[in-house]
Amino acid sequence: MNRTPHVAVVGATGAVGVEMIETLERRNFPVGKLTLLASARSAGKKLKFRGTDVTVTELTKDSFHGIDIALFSAGGSISKEFAPLAAAAGCVVVDNSSAFRMDPTVPLIVPEINAADVRGHQGILANPNCTTAITLMALYPLHQAFGVTRIFASSYQAVSGTGAAAIEELRRQVQQITSGQPVTREVYPHQIAFNVLPQVDSFLDTGYTKEEMKLENEGRKIMHHASFRASVTCVRVPVYRAHSVAVSAEFTRPVSLEAARAVLAQAPGLDVVDDPANRRYPMPLDVSGKYNCAVGRLRLDCALDNGLSFWVAGDQLLKGAALNAVQIAEELLK
């Protein structure tokens, strides 16, 4: 791998694409040259990188010649079509969609957990689902110490996980309600302002949604833990940015609060914010724009044997997407 790689961002004008560009700059990633790719309608737009305007060009099947690393965040159908073309052109793809996550030939990476898996790539690496990544930042260190068997979890997912149009929808609906106008909706099937929607992604025959099963399926792959079980309810909440997850986890070995706290305090990429007496616990507002996830509300679970309950929050555009992708690219250079 070139020490100062030619990097492409695919889906550069989207919410995650913009974060990827900023993250490359903020982490001083040794970009030799940056190419920004997007759909025909975004071509010609200019985005800043290191103080210079970079013009967005249209994504085509010939876009990848001479590019070393491509960070994809343009949706699953684009990834399925273009990632194999990029890999064939000698480029290493870090894909943010769900297209390749469960492909046995594609490593699924959270660098703090399974960075070594990067070495097994065949041209494509996958970024996990945002809720999975944020949950595992707290769960995996506990698993290493105590051996997790199963979790029960509920997510509190921000509208920015759906994209820029959803952020605008929440903002518009709040305005409509406070000024007494009828509420209009385009992105979500129901009003999101002053409401919560117990549906993220489409429903499966089991009654779970696709999003809800990602935590179990992707968690097994990332943690190398084939028998891990997760029963999850994913909920969209009227928050602009940053996801939170309430987790009850059961372990094979006895857990004490002191031991759990000590483990989490040592975990990379994670801050312990756990002082209930002073009303200190992780909140979306506090983790928005931050690289680290935060964990708190630690307590022994009163309904599980060897159980621990906790609350974890993280910026899903960063650790859940752009930051994790750039960290994978950093592993490629090592």
pLDDT at res. 1: 86
The verdict on pTM exceeding 0.95 is yes
Segment (H or E) for 174: helix 164-178
pLDDT at 187: 98
Write down the pLDDT at residue 331. 97
Q: Catalytic site residues? A: 130, 243
Domain map (residue ranges) of the chain: 6-128+321-333, 132-315
Domain 132-315 carries which CATH code?
3.30.360.10
* Separation of alpha carbons 200 and 223, rounded Å: 24
Q: State which residues of the chain have pLDDT below 50.
A: none
Domain at 6-128+321-333: CATH architecture: 3-Layer(aba) Sandwich (3.40)
Exposed, middle or buried, 325 (CB in 10 Å: 0-12/13-18/19+)?
Answer: buried
Q: What is the dihedral of CA 96, 97, 102, 105, to 10 degrees?
A: -60
How many percent of the chain have pLDDT more than 90?
Answer: 99
